[in-house]
Structure 1
Amino acid sequence: MITKSAELVKHAEQKCPTRLTQSLESFAALREGYIAGAINRLEEYGLWAKALSEANSHIAVDKEEIAAATDAYNEVADYLATNLSWPPESISIKPQGSVSTKTLIRSPYGSEKFDIDAVCKIDISHIEADNPVSFFESIGQALKELEAQPKRRCWKIPFTGRKFYLEFTPSIPLNTISEQTLHSMAPRYSVARYGETALAVVDMPTESWKTSNSEGMSKWVNDTSERRLLWSNVMEAHAYDRAAASISPVPDQTVDITDTLRVAIRLFKRHRDMCARRGIIDAATKPISVIIVTLLTSCYEGLADLGRSFEHPIELLDELATLMPHLVLELDGKYRVDNPTVEGENFAEKWNDDNGERYKSFMTWTNALSADLQSILALKDPQAISIRVRDVFGIAAPTGGGNGLTTIQPPAPRATPASRGLA
């Protein structure tokens, strides 16, 4: 039976039969023995791969900053254990989101803080599960000295003087709550995948428990990224090694371009941020990261489910960029980007309450992304490729002297509609 991700990809392929650039040719020549032409193509791909790898390394968060965030988790746990008189073993704090999937990126604004998402699982024997609001507020009270600020489902801890802030979601394991509490939760949200990591979190606007599965989302991204779509051969490895030899990896958050799903998530998020910075899209309506992650991972998973293969990471990166905007669903006049781990949760829910502004921003951004990737893949000269990549992703030239940014005109919005009729 065809999977949902495979169905989405097949539908997207019908809408965009051509890739971003005709310069990405098949490696059929290599398979048939025409070695010289294949090596030339590999070396050409290697120039693009080298420049994009350098951009990927530049936007990674440093090891020291990740270590500081780990210390922050411990600090929060200590406050909870002390102020709520809970034993430390009843508190489990884990990173979630981009930290746990190695897709965290630095802000292009320099001094702007980056956010670290964490989920706190509490042993249910230490709370009143029938009173979610009391549970949520008790967490905030315990973190008062850290200046915790309430949000819809989490507490934001600013950590003044540090390079990050923490968004901290209190929760209890879904499989530990009583049947009575389970029945009181929002009925339209149920576990779809990775049920062993599902949680109950407090939704403050409704003052009730809601199903969540942030760890399941991370496992989905990580598991999907391990699926092999690249066709490997000795000559390809040789050509890539020559191109990548000068790239300095970033400890802990190192992601090689052959890990193409994670690279796509990181580079595309950075491109979105640059579009907002340059005024191409409104920062208030820019696509949220979870939508980008979900669409790209669904696309990658669908390609794997369909048995697709690619000869080089650049080809796969191009395919992800081409198909991504066509994976948004439109059902009964409503946009949908479904949470693959929680049935009924729509990450694009706000797109249906703003007169189409967020969807317009999404399409304008993906249009700009395609145009910028086309401009990179059209170049053959190494220096020109490097300059263009730095410009597109907002990276200062190695010699310093300015931020390397130029004014880019907003592209015309695409008329591509969302995919329709896929459940």
Structure 2
Amino acid sequence: MTETHYSYLVNEAIIRRNEQAQKTLIKSLSVENFQDSSHQLEALAEDIQLVNDHIKVDESVFEDASSDYEDMARKLVEKLNWPSESIRIIPQGSASTKTLIRSPDNSKFDIDAVCSVDLSMIETSEPMDFYEKVGAALEEWDPEPKKRCWKVDFQGRRYYIEFTPSTPLDKVPQSTSSRITFSPSNRYRNKALAVVDTPSRKWKTSNPEGFSSWVSDQSSRPLLRWLLEKSMHDSYSAESVTPVPEQEVEISDTLRVAIRLLKRHRDMAVRRNYIEPDLKPISIIIVTLLTQCYEGLADKGAVYTHPIELLIDLVELMPYMIERRENEYWIANPTVEGENFAEKWNEKPRLKQSFDIWTKLLLEDLNEIMAATDQDSRRQTIKEVFGCTAAQSPTPPNGSGLAPRKPSQPHKAPPTKGLA
């Protein structure tokens, strides 16, 4: 079997994980406690599924979001006299990868949307002119300008939409094409877009739909023995307004479950003051590292007998998937050449320190779950780790739900040393 880049990174991650475990005597996660009892293993999987169900966002939210997308598209057509066929609005980010979770305190969350406009059908050519025209068309919602998007906070909604004006990369006028930052990779090149980077006032290559396709395509590669002969590939709508994907995910979709659980654990770490809010690991880093790891395992031909085994490997190997290039941290965007999601880590070391604190805490918490000697104590630990409440959690057939966690003693945050 030919070694790929990600299978190479996974092999290196396995070596580094094992060396670190021996060096620090940190106990690796293990399913050994469950090998004599398939019932216990299934009970753990059930508890993980309960957490996954608890943190998902209600489907009604996505119906509202799709309706808001349509309103935005109509407003652009009305205000700017753009042809309706020139506009395509699609979800991006967590909503499009089916990894969106609600916040622990039920505060508003963002649903990202990309507005892809065929510039060959309208008169706008300069990136900032295009960006500002979109913002002006959305004025009734009082949009807030951001680095590459307009933030629209709808009244009465549980979410806000970050609306990114863009155009298909091949529709950028030739006169300005030399000013585009970054270039698309060969993967999902046909989905590449150009977005407006307002600080530089230039077009910048982006590929949110390609990134979502990457996560979906990797998630559909069966690493569980009993799924090897099943096809799980998702499809994408070609409608002008793409609805937000339904967020139902089962534990057999282990990659997406892992992404959701780790995002929730990160949010709980912030809520409990283990890490500072402005230093928390961003979701795109978690998604990219886990998906790279999953792809590498699939490329290696790895096969697992149970989702928990695969979940353990993804969690343990993820921190070791980070590359070092010319003494800098690198987490490469698989769909855009030269874009490094860890770029700010090299400028602000406390971001990487916070990531390390969080991943150490994650392994400690999961080890505590795995070390529980009976189902009741294990379930109680899971309740505490993921901060689920009995009132909001689905209730399993035996009637026991997920209850609130007792306050824990937070880890010390890294010293500031005057860094901004």
Residue 98 of structure 1, CA deviation: 1.1
Match of 2:390 in 1: 397
1:24 aligns with 2:31: yes
TM-score norm. by structure 2 comes to 0.86
1:351 aligns with 2:345: yes
CA distance in 1, matches of 2:76, 2:99: 28
TM-score norm. by structure 1 comes to 0.86
2:246 paired residue among 247, 252, 261: 252
- The SS at the match of 1:98 is helix
Query: Residue deviations 1:73-112, cap 9 Å, x none?
Result: 01111111111111222111011111111111000012x1
1:120 aligns with 2:115: yes
1:302 aligns with 2:296: yes
- The SS at the match of 2:278 is helix
Query: Residue deviations 1:308-355, cap 9 Å, x none?
Result: 11111001100011000011122222111110000100111111112x
Query: Which amino acid is 2:56 matched to?
Result: A
2:69 paired residue among 68, 73, 80: 73
1:231 aligns with 2:225: yes
- Do the aligned partners of 1:21 and 1:377 also contact (CA within 8 Å) in 2? no
Number of aligned positions between the proteins: 383
CA distance in 2, matches of 1:125, 1:174: 11
Match of 1:386 in 2: 379
Match of 2:237 in 1: none
- The SS at the match of 1:252 is coil
Match of 1:211 in 2: 205
Match of 1:408 in 2: 408
Match of 2:242 in 1: none
CA distance in 1, matches of 2:183, 2:125: 18
Aligned-residue identity in percent: 47
Match of 1:165 in 2: 160
1:221 aligns with 2:215: yes
CA distance in 1, matches of 2:303, 2:412: 32
1:262–1:124 Cα change, 3 Å: same
Residue 179 of structure 1, CA deviation: 3.8
Query: Which amino acid is 1:394 matched to?
Result: G
Query: Residue deviations 1:100-158, cap 9 Å, x none?
Result: 11111000012x10110111111212444541000000000000111111111111001
Within 5 Å, give how 1:15-414 maps onto structure 2.
15-17=16-18, 21=28, 23-25=30-32, 40-110=36-106, 112-128=107-123, 130-186=125-181, 188-232=182-226, 252-354=246-348, 356-398=349-391, 404-410=404-410
CA distance in 1, matches of 2:173, 2:64: 37
Residue 257 of structure 1, CA deviation: 0.5
Query: Which amino acid is 1:78 matched to?
Result: R
1:22–1:214 Cα change, 3 Å: closer
Query: Residue deviations 1:211-266, cap 9 Å, x none?
Result: 00000000000000000111229xxxxxxxxxxxxxxxxx9311110100000000
- Do the aligned partners of 2:150 and 2:163 also contact (CA within 8 Å) in 1? yes
CA distance in 1, matches of 2:58, 2:360: 31
Unmatched segments (≥5 aa) in structure 1: 27-36, 234-250, 415-423
CA distance in 2, matches of 1:402, 1:48: 13
- Do the aligned partners of 1:202 and 1:209 also contact (CA within 8 Å) in 2? yes
1:230–1:413 Cα change, 3 Å: farther
Residue 410 of structure 1, CA deviation: 4.3
CA distance in 2, matches of 1:337, 1:296: 11
Residue 189 of structure 1, CA deviation: 3.5
CA distance in 2, matches of 1:295, 1:284: 20
1:310–1:56 Cα change, 3 Å: same
Residue 21 of structure 1, CA deviation: 4.2
CA distance in 2, matches of 1:102, 1:22: 26
Query: Which amino acid is 1:4 matched to?
Result: H
Query: Which amino acid is 1:136 matched to?
Result: Y
